[in-house]
Chain A
Amino acid sequence: QQQVKQSPQSLIVQKGGISIINCAYENTAFDYFPWYQQFPGKGPALLIAIRPDVSEKKEGRFTISFNKSAKQFSLHIMDSQPGDSATYFCAASMGWTGANNLFFGTGTRLTVIP
C-alpha cells in the first residue's frame, strides 16, 4: 500500500511558468515532509522540507504548501527553468530528524520547455 500518493506522474511546463506537484498521505503520525529532486543517473537530493506546524515554506523559487487537515502537501516551482527538468519525489516520515524511514511518493517527471 502506497503510504504517500503523488500526482501528476508527468508534467510539462513552459519556461517561466509555475510547476505544481501534489502529494497526499493517510498516516497522521507523519511529521516530516521532504521533497527530493533526482536527475538521471544521480541519487535523489533534498530540495526542501517542512514540518506540519507551518502551512508554507519557501526557499528561493521553491515553495511547499502544507494542509494538515486535508493531509496534503504540494511543491510549487515558480519561474520554472529548463534546468529544473528532473524527477521530483515527495516523502514523509515519522520524526523530524530525518533518521527514520522515508516513505516516498511515486515521483513526478517534470519537463520544462524552453
Chain B
Amino acid sequence: SAVISQKPSRDICQRGTSLTIQCQVDSQVTMMFWYRQQPGQSLTLIATANQGSEATYESGFVIDKFPISRPNLTFSTLTVSNMSPEDSSIYLCSVNLADTQYFGPGTRLTVL
C-alpha cells in the first residue's frame, strides 16, 4: 500500500488569492492524480500528473486555474489560483500503486 500525506490539511483563504497544496507519497509512483470533492458530493478528477511530463487536465479544469508540479516520483503540488468561494472543496491527491488507486487524507479549502 501507499502512505500519502497532504499539506495543509485545511485552510481558509480570501477570494482572489492562491493556495498551493503539497502531496507526498512514501513510494515512487509514476502516476499521481488530483481530485476535488465538493461538500457532500462525489469525487471529480482534476488532472493526472506524470513525472517528467505536463499534467493532463480533465474537461472543465484548466492549467491556469490549477497549475500542477511533479518534480519527482514521490511529490506533487496543486495550486488553486485566483480563488473564489466556488473553489471551496476538499482536494485529494491520489496515486496508482500495484494497480490500485490510493488517496491522501485531503485538504479542506474554504474560500471567503
Contact = CB atoms under 8 A, between A and B. Distances in A.
A44 B43 contact: yes
Contacts of B106: 41-43
Contact of B101 (A2, A46, A96): A46
**Chain B interface mostly helix, strand, loop or mixed?**
strand
Interface string B37-68: 00011111100100000000010000000000
Interface stretch (B12-20, B74-82, B92-100): B92-100
B111 to A, nearest CB: 20
**Chain A interface mostly helix, strand, loop or mixed?**
loop
B31 interface: yes
A11 B103 CA distance: 24
B105 A97 contact: no
Interface in B83-112: 92, 94, 96, 99-106
B23 to A, nearest CB: 11
Contacts of A66: none
A44 B103 contact: yes
Interface of A: 2, 34, 36, 41-46, 89, 96-99, 101-102, 104-107
